[in-house]
Amino acid sequence: MRRLPLLALICLAACLAPWFAPRPGHAEIVDRIVAEVNDEVITMSELDEMARTVQPPPGFNPKSKEEAKALKRQMLEALIDRKLAKAEAKKRGITISDKDLNQAVEGFKKKNHIPDDAALNQAMAKAGMTLKELRRQLADQIQQERMMAIAVGAKKVEISDAEVRRFYDTNVRDKGGGNQVHLEVVNMPYPPGATAAQKEEVQKKAETVLKDIRLGTSVAEVQRKYSLTVQDLGFINPADLHRQLADILSKLRPGEVAPIQNPEGFQLVVLLGKRSGQPPSFEEAAPRIRQFLANKSMEKQYMEWLKTLRAKAHIKIML
């Protein structure tokens, strides 16, 4: 299996936790060491903490325990990279101010439609984590972004017109870039290490919320009523979704909802609207494509820089 990009790993992390959750009736040490990085360690709880800070992409479901384990290993590789970058940042005196971190928390709340701190604490408790853990995850992400800027900042990233044109032809024009759906996702995860009774309780709640939405209650109303986490995905191309979800959405009308059960819980995907027409012209799309390709190039350079840190580090994996 090829190594996935860092951002893809973050998105997949939440899908993996259920495969590794403690099973009732089995004694298991959850917080065991899964890797050594120089004089530091990574524990299983750190992997689980990362999984709890993100939501799975709608429609994604690991096909087997083996697939989930392989993805879990790649997530561990990403944490090793983060550990190395964090140590390098410490050497360079790079720190994250309270102001920066507070802004990141506010951004997290806005992205997930969380109205205030009380609702944030409630959402964190339901996800099995604390606000302190969330802030630590956000601080690590900011620090890693700054290290990326330092690692590749001296190298000028140039994207040719031919590269932009190839991307446009393959990913916009030929994929029906003018057809889009506007989605909101209501997330209802199981609590960590959920029992059968707890899972049944979440299922019943999901059925109740689904009924409310189908009777005309808005997503904002059910979010407030049941203290739920909601993601607004905006307008996206159905070709970028999981095929099974895209097939379901093709049969829905705006305002209708698709219930999805994953190993980690339930998601209610609400189709807010559809729009179609001609894809944007090359001239309209080119600036965004150029920026996207530049970011991908920077990420590639950053990964090469991390390889130099790995080459000098003592790394032992025990997962």
C-alpha–C-alpha distance, residues 228 and 57, integer Å: 17
Q: Residue 317 carries which side chain, given as an amino acid letter?
A: I
Q: How far is CA 192 from the centre of its chain?
A: 18
Tokens linked to 60: 């994604």
Q: Residue 91 carries which side chain, given as an amino acid letter?
A: K
Stretch 156-161: mean pLDDT, rounded? 86
User: What string of DSSP letters covers 153-214?
Assistant: HTSPP---HHHHHHHHIIIIITTTTT-EEEEEEEEEEPPTT--HHHHHHHHHHHHHHHHHHH
Mutual orientation of helices 282-312 and 6-20 as an angle, nearest 10°? Answer: 70
Q: What percentage of residues in the chain have a pLDDT greater than 90?
A: 23
C-alpha–C-alpha distance, residues 311 and 62, integer Å: 32
Predicted local distance difference test score (pLDDT) of residue 43: 92
**pLDDT grade for 56, boundaries at 50, 70 and 90:** low
C-alpha–C-alpha distance, residues 178 and 200, integer Å: 41
Tracing tokens 């070709």 back to the chain, one arrives at 239
**pLDDT grade for 27, boundaries at 50, 70 and 90:** very low
Q: Exposed/middle/buried for 319, CB within 10 Å: 0-12, 13-18, 19+?
A: middle
Q: Are strands 180-189 and 265-275 parallel, antiparallel or unpaired?
A: antiparallel
Helix then strand then coil, in percent of the chain rounded to 5, is: 55, 15, 30
In the chain the domains, ranked by start, together with CATH numbers, are 6-157+293-317 (1.10.4030.10), 179-275 (3.10.50.40)
Q: What percentage of residues in the chain have a pLDDT greater than 70?
A: 83
Predicted local distance difference test score (pLDDT) of residue 173: 73
- What's the whole-model pTM score? 0.58
C-alpha–C-alpha distance, residues 54 and 125, integer Å: 14
Of residues 293, 298, 297, the one with CA closest to residue 161 = 293
Tracing tokens 């025990």 back to the chain, one arrives at 318
Predicted local distance difference test score (pLDDT) of residue 52: 63
**pLDDT grade for 72, boundaries at 50, 70 and 90:** confident
C-alpha–C-alpha distance, residues 268 and 253, integer Å: 15
Stretch 12-40: mean pLDDT, rounded? 57
Of residues 19, 85, 2, 10, the one with CA closest to residue 51 = 10
